[in-house]
Structure 1
Amino acid sequence: MSEFKQLTGTEGLKKIGSLIEDIPIAMLVTTGEDGSFESRPMATHIKNFDGTVWFLTPLKSEKVHEIKDDSHATLVFSDAANAKYISAKGRAYVSQDRAKIHELWNSMYKAWFPAGEDDPNIAVLRVDITEADYWEASSSKIVRGIKYLAAAATGGKVDVGEAGKAVIA
């Protein structure tokens, strides 16, 4: 890996946005009642990333209960095909903002909410990201493979990607 980067403000926001914008699923990690971590996959809604990631979820779900008890949350994004990995920390909030539900709604949600977007059990889950750690490779899979071999042969003196922390709030 190249030198560890520290990004702040707009620079960090742009970096994280560019890494997560095409990743359709994030693992949402919350704190369970017993203090252990609970994680589950969630379909993301990321357009013009401004530090917030949106989800639709059942209002009567364990994750909503956990967030009401402790709003700290982590979103873990993984794109193995492009060697991008992001762990983003922030605060989660739940509402039943009907306008936002309408904005985020698509037919995929019929599987969870057969009554449609007016289902009273739909909630909006918002995660405001404050910081993120990231790792990404700098080239295609074939070039990465060659670089990994070269790095192994040279004791790690070949740049195979970038790692860093972005603080955006």
Structure 2
Amino acid sequence: MTISQEHNQQVKQLQELIKGIDYAMLSTVDDDGSLHSRPMYFNSDIDADGTLWFFTSASSHKVFEIEHHQQVNVNFSSSTQQRFISISGIAELVKDRQKIQERWQPELETWFPQGLDEPNIALLKVNIKKVDYWDDKSNCHAKTISGL
């Protein structure tokens, strides 16, 4: 199997694991080294290359933290399906208006009432480095997807 085929299969596996989970916990590192976690709406926005996307305000504290420490962790869980996913990666802020428009969904108006006209609207791009997951199909044994 070629690397790109294996990569595509890993991305598809990750897409299946997080399918139907609308929220994730994003953990960042503050300047004092402490971890800071908050819920983030996830609209199933994962690229074919395995990149995760979240909407945010460019002036939020999490963006400040990411500008100083790009390493993040994103956790998804579905207790009803006994599925738990932990993703470590590198985050960056993206202010590209075209990308923001491409990824916009009406559900986001809950957090951005002015829609695409919201001041400071931006995207957090998370490049995945490693995925650990537990699910009922694997009898809750930890499994890892690396090299995404």
Task: Quote the Cα distance in structure 1 between the aligned partners of 2:134 and 2:20.
Answer: 16
Secondary structure, counterpart of 1:53 in structure 2: strand
Counterpart amino acid of residue 168 in structure 1: G
How far residue 161 of structure 1 moved from its aligned partner, in angstroms, is 4.3
- In structure 2, the partner of 1:66 is 65
TM-score normalised by length of structure 2: 0.86
Establish whether residue 43 from structure 1 lines up as the match of residue 22 from structure 2.
no
Give the counterpart of 2:14 among 4, 13, 16. Answer: 16
Equivalent pairs counted in the alignment come to 142
Change (3 A) 1:119 1:160: closer
Tell me if the contact between 1:21 and 1:47 (Cα under 8 Å) persists in the aligned partners: no
How far residue 87 of structure 1 moved from its aligned partner, in angstroms, is 0.4
Change (3 A) 1:110 1:47: closer
Secondary structure, counterpart of 2:114 in structure 1: coil
- In structure 2, the partner of 1:132 is 131
How far residue 162 of structure 1 moved from its aligned partner, in angstroms, is 4.3
Q: Where in structure 1 are there 5+ consecutive unaligned residues?
A: 1-7, 139-158
Counterpart amino acid of residue 24 in structure 1: D
How far residue 44 of structure 1 moved from its aligned partner, in angstroms, is 1.2
Change (3 A) 1:10 1:97: same
TM-score normalised by length of structure 1: 0.76
- In structure 1, the partner of 2:143 is 164
- In structure 1, the partner of 2:3 is none
- In structure 2, the partner of 1:97 is 96
Tell me if the contact between 1:131 and 1:165 (Cα under 8 Å) persists in the aligned partners: yes
Secondary structure, counterpart of 1:113 in structure 2: coil
Tell me if the contact between 2:45 and 2:53 (Cα under 8 Å) persists in the aligned partners: no
Describe the superposition over 1:85-133 as per-residue Cα deviations: whole angstroms up to 9, x where unpaired. Answer: 0100000010211111112222332233232202231011111111111
Spell out structure 1 runs of 4+ moving beyond 6 A: none
Counterpart amino acid of residue 160 in structure 1: N
Task: Quote the Cα distance in structure 2 between the aligned partners of 1:135 and 1:48.
Answer: 19
Secondary structure, counterpart of 2:135 in structure 1: strand
Change (3 A) 1:81 1:91: same
Task: Quote the Cα distance in structure 2 between the aligned partners of 1:116 and 1:15.
Answer: 32
How far residue 37 of structure 1 moved from its aligned partner, in angstroms, is 0.4
Tell me if the contact between 1:53 and 1:127 (Cα under 8 Å) persists in the aligned partners: yes
Tell me if the contact between 1:32 and 1:38 (Cα under 8 Å) persists in the aligned partners: yes
Counterpart amino acid of residue 28 in structure 2: T
- In structure 2, the partner of 1:115 is 114
- In structure 2, the partner of 1:52 is 51
